[in-house]
Amino acid sequence: MKKLLILMLVLGISSLANGTMTLQISVGGVLDPIDSEITLMPSETIFLDIHSPDGYNGTEDCYWGLVADIGYGVITGGVPTAAAPAESAWFGNDAATMGFGSPPEDGSWGFIGDSGGIPVGPGVYIDEILFHCVGPGDAVIKLYSSLDAMTFVLEDTVIIHQPEPMTIALLGLGGLFLRRRK
């Protein structure tokens, strides 16, 4: 009897794990970006999206927060798409005050879900989140989720490379020398 109870408990926990919604960051429309290929120059911007590769099962409503160190970049905005569950929303640019990330991180946050329990297939759920590069170095963008707005889980990270001004100058000089040789 004990073994049967343990088996039921293990199966129940594994089915809960399989039923959760997975969230990921897409950069510039690329659903699974390779970090080493994402480079922005100072003052450039790029759009980020939040997508779910496995869809919404109708029960796992969650809050989301997309944050970055404010010394490297600023994250603002977000709009639920037509593919998102019906009650999905963007709530603001104060993710750190809501518990997502920790100072000096901040960014956008919102909600993905539907009280009607209607499942939705895979797709981009939150669109038009803007990342603005403000300083040189690698910006680590983190996507957090929370089922209860108190416990936060790191879902995905993306690194955006931002070359230092001296690196940009050296690359420019190298290009001039190559051009002069021809």
Q: Does residue 153 lie in a domain region?
A: yes
Question: pLDDT at residue 33 above 90?
Answer: no
Q: What is the mean pLDDT of residues 74-98?
A: 96
User: CB 86: neighbour CB atoms within 10 A?
Assistant: 12
User: Which of the pair, 177 or 145, is modelled with greater confidence?
Assistant: 145
Residue 147 located in a structural domain: yes
Give me the number of domains the chain comprises. 1
Instruction: Name the band, by pLDDT with cuts 50, 70 and 90, for residue 149.
Output: confident
Q: Which CATH number fits the domain that encloses residue 109? A: 2.60.40.10
**Structural domain boundaries, residue 40:** 21-177
What would the two tokens of residue 98 be? 């809501």
144 found inside a domain: yes
- Decide if 11 is inside a domain: no
Residue 170 lies in a domain: yes
Is there a domain that residue 8 lies in? no
Region of residue 55 (left: phi > 0; alpha: psi -120 to 50; beta: else): left
| pLDDT over 80 at 165, yes or no | no
Residue 9 forms part of a structural domain: no
Give residue-wise pLDDT tens across range 53-80: 999 999 989 999 999 999 999 999 999 9
Q: Is residue 4 part of a domain?
A: no
CA distances in angstroms from 42 to 48, 162, 181, listed in the order given = 17, 7, 30
Mean pLDDT of the 163-172 span:
60
Say what the pTM is: 0.80
Residue 105, strand partner residues: 69
